[in-house]
Amino acid sequence: MRFLRSGSGLVVALCVILLASGCGIQEAGRFLDRAEACAEATETAQGVLTRISQLASDPGQLKKQLHEAGARLEEAGAKSGDPALNGVLSGLASTYKSTVATDKASAVAAAEKVRVSTISSFRVFSRACGDS
């Protein structure tokens, strides 16, 4: 039961259901890719939102963490196989990677921009992922 509570357990259970219901292996694979991408994107966005206030006090860490998060979002979008989802995740990744903060004041402003963009994009990709 604990296995099914984890994200990967749920994905495996859904795959088994898809295969048992007659869906082809290729279709199940696409579903799994998209489900994994959605889980990775959600985890990344939530991580950014959780840490953004702390990162606002350190421009160097803000830039580094956002660049890494942007790379994870790009990878998740590409993995999804869904052009619309890829577009949303690539857009948010671009926002993260283009964030400029040279001092604490600009880091605070940048962090707020990132927070707003993340929340807005999170709503969009959550809807797209809900259609999996």
Which residue in 87, 53, 63, 83 sits closest to 73, CA to CA?
A: 87
Per-residue model confidence as pLDDT tens digits over 78-87:
998 889 899 9
Both tokens of 100, joined, read 């400029």
pTM of the model: 0.75
Binned at pLDDT 50, 70 and 90, residue 2 comes out as very low
Domain limits of the chain? 37-130
In 3-state terms the chain splits into helix, strand, coil percentages (rounded to 5) of 85, 0, 15
